[in-house]
Structure 1
Amino acid sequence: MTTITVDSFTTSADGTRIAYDLTGPTPGLAPAIVVVDGVLAHRLPVTLAVACALGDRATTLRYDRRGRGSSGDTSPYSVDREIDDIAALLEVTGPAALLGISSGAFLALRAAADLGADVTGVLCYEPTYDVASGEPPTDPRMIAGVEICVEVGDPGSAVELFLDVVGMPCGLLPRMRESSSWAGLEAIAPTIAYDGRILAGVTLGRRALMGLWHQIGQPVVVVDGTASTVSVTRAAESLAAVLPAARRVTLPGHGTDVPPAAMAEVVADLLGVGR
C-alpha cells in the first residue's frame, strides 16, 4: 500500500533544516525520484498526484526548497547550498533520479553534474531557458529588483515584479492580490532571486552550468507538450541538443497543465519501472 510521510526533515551541510515528504515504498525498496520545484512553487498538489500515480513502483520524495514552506534558510544564499540540500535528501532515498520543473530543471542538472552517480537520471519538464539563444538567461530584475523589494520590506512588489518579468498582463494583478494564494507567494518572495541566480548560473560564473554539460552523463529526458509555449519548446529542444545522454519527449495535447498520470508514466519510463 502506498504510504505518505508528511513533514519529515533532514539537515543540509550548513545546518539548514529541509522539509520533505515521501510517497511509495520505504527508501531502498524501489527506484526513487526527487521533485525539484521551480520558482514560487513548493510541494504542489499536482506533484503529490504524480507521486500517487507512481504508487508502489517508485519512492517519490518532494521537498520544500530552502526558504519555502517548512524548510529553513541560511544567509548568504548560494546555488552550492541548494546542491547540498539535494545531497542531504539523497542520503534519505539513496541514489535517485531528479524531476526538475521549469527553473528547477537547471538546479536538477547542476546537481547531476556535481553529485555524479548519486543522481541516476534527470527529467526536465518545461525548462525555461533556450541555452542556444545567446541571450542572458534571466532578467536582472529577477535578482536585484526582487532583493531590493525584499530588503525594504515589500515582498508583494517583489512578486509583482516577477510576474511582470514573465509577462503576466497588468490587469490580472489586482485579481492575483485578492486571491487566497497571494500571502503564500509573499512569504516565499525572497526565493524568486534564488531561482534568478540559478538561471544566471547557466552561463555566468566560475562553474557555469554550460561548461559542465559533458559531466552530465546520466540519462536525461527533456519534456514539453504540444500545448507548451513556443519559447518552452525551443528551450527544450536546445537543452536536449547539448546534453550527452538526453532524449526529447513531447506529450500530445498537454503543456504546463499536464495530467499527473501522463507525467507519472514519463517518470516511470526514466526509472525503468513500467506500468
Structure 2
Amino acid sequence: MERRLWARRAVCPSMTTLTADAFTTSADGTRIAYDLTGPVPGLAPAVVVVDGVLAHRLAVTRAVAAELDRRVTTLRYDRRGRGASGDTPPYSVDREVDDIAALLEVTGPAALVGISTGVFLALRAAADLGAAVTAVLCYEPTYDVASGEPPVDPRMIAGVEACLEAGDPGSAVEVFLDVMGMPCGLVPRMRASPSWADLEAIAPTIAYDGRVLAGVALGHRALMCRWEQITQSVLVVDGTASAAAVTAAADSLAAALPEALRVTLPGHGTDVPPAALAEAVTGLLRRAGVP
C-alpha cells in the first residue's frame, strides 16, 4: 500500500514530502519507524542516515535533510530498540542490516550516511547489500582500525547488560559515559536533564552498538577482513575541531577502504553545521555518479 501511495504522488517531480513515523517491516517482523524529507522516492538520489550510539533521528540530521530538500530524498530512521521502532530478541548485527535492507525497499538504491558508531553498521550494510547501497559517508568514525587495540571496551557490552539485568538502565548509561571518558562530575547534571529519560529508554541499544564495533575485528565475518567487498564510493569525514582520536580513526579507515576519499571540514567537529554536512553528502553523490 505504501509503495502504491508513493507511485500516485510521483506525478509532480518538484513535490517534497515530510513523513513522520511511517513504518516498514524488517525480515524478522520488527517494525522500523522512519521519516522522509525531499522528493518522492525514485525521483531524486536518496540517502539513509544511520545514527550512532544512543541517538535516533537527531535534530542535526533533520536540519541536514532540510538543507538537501528538493535535491535529495533523505530517510532518517529509528534503529531497532529506539524511538518508535520495535525490537525483537535476540539481537544480531545481521538483523540491523536487514532493517537497512527494508528501508532501501522504500527509497530504492541509496547512499548511507553513517555517524559515529553508525559508520561501521553502514559499512557492514555496504558489504552485505551490494548495489542496493550506492555510496557511504562515514562521519567521525569511532574506532582506529589500524590501532591493534580491541574494537570495544568490554563494559560497553557486558557491563551495560549487567546493569540492565539488574533493572537499572540509568547505571547502564553511566557505564557507557565512563567508557567514553566523561568526567564523573558531569553525570549528575546529565541525570537532571530532560533527555535522561530518553537515554534510559534506549539504554539496551548501547550493547547493540558494542556488538557492531566488536564485529569490525572479531568473528568469522569480521568487517576488517571484508574491506575489498566495499566497492562503493566512500567519503570519510571529520572536522578540524574533531577529537584527535576521531581524526586517527578517520585516517586509518580511509587508508583501509579501497574506494575511500578522506575529507576534513574546516572549523567543524561533532557540532558540524547542517549545511556543511549536506554539502558533503551531495559531494559524495557526485563522486559516486549518482544522478
Counterpart position of 1:90 = 104
CA distance in 1, matches of 2:36, 2:92: 26
Counterpart position of 1:262 = 276
Conserved 8 A contact 2:16-2:40: no
Q: Secondary structure at the match of 2:276?
A: helix
CA distance in 1, matches of 2:38, 2:192: 37
- Which of 201, 218, 235 is 2:249 aligned to? 235
CA distance in 2, matches of 1:3, 1:180: 30
Deviations for 1:133-177, whole angstroms, at most 9, x for unmatched residues? 000011000000101111111000000000000000000000000
Counterpart position of 2:173 = 159
Counterpart position of 1:32 = 46
Counterpart position of 1:109 = 123
CA distance in 2, matches of 1:12, 1:2: 26
Counterpart position of 2:12 = none
1:250 correspondence with 2:261: no
1:202 correspondence with 2:216: yes
Counterpart position of 2:202 = 188
Conserved 8 A contact 1:2-1:52: no
Counterpart position of 1:140 = 154
1:178 correspondence with 2:192: yes
- Which of 28, 32, 53 is 2:67 aligned to? 53
1:211 correspondence with 2:257: no
CA distance in 2, matches of 1:45, 1:194: 22
Conserved 8 A contact 2:79-2:85: yes
For structure 1, the 5+ residue unaligned runs are: none
Conserved 8 A contact 2:23-2:33: yes
Deviations for 1:212-241, whole angstroms, at most 9, x for unmatched residues? 100000000000000001000000000000
Counterpart position of 1:271 = 285
Distance apart, 1:3 and its partner CA: 2.3
1:119 correspondence with 2:128: no
Number of equivalent positions: 274
For structure 2, the 5+ residue unaligned runs are: 1-14
- RMSD, matched Cα: 1.0
Conserved 8 A contact 2:156-2:175: yes
Q: Secondary structure at the match of 1:3?
A: strand
Q: TM-score, normalised by structure 2?
A: 0.93
CA distance in 1, matches of 2:174, 2:107: 37
Conserved 8 A contact 1:149-1:157: yes
Q: TM-score, normalised by structure 1?
A: 0.99
Letter of the aligned partner of 2:75 in structure 1? L
Letter of the aligned partner of 2:236 in structure 1? V
Conserved 8 A contact 2:228-2:258: yes
Counterpart position of 1:223 = 237
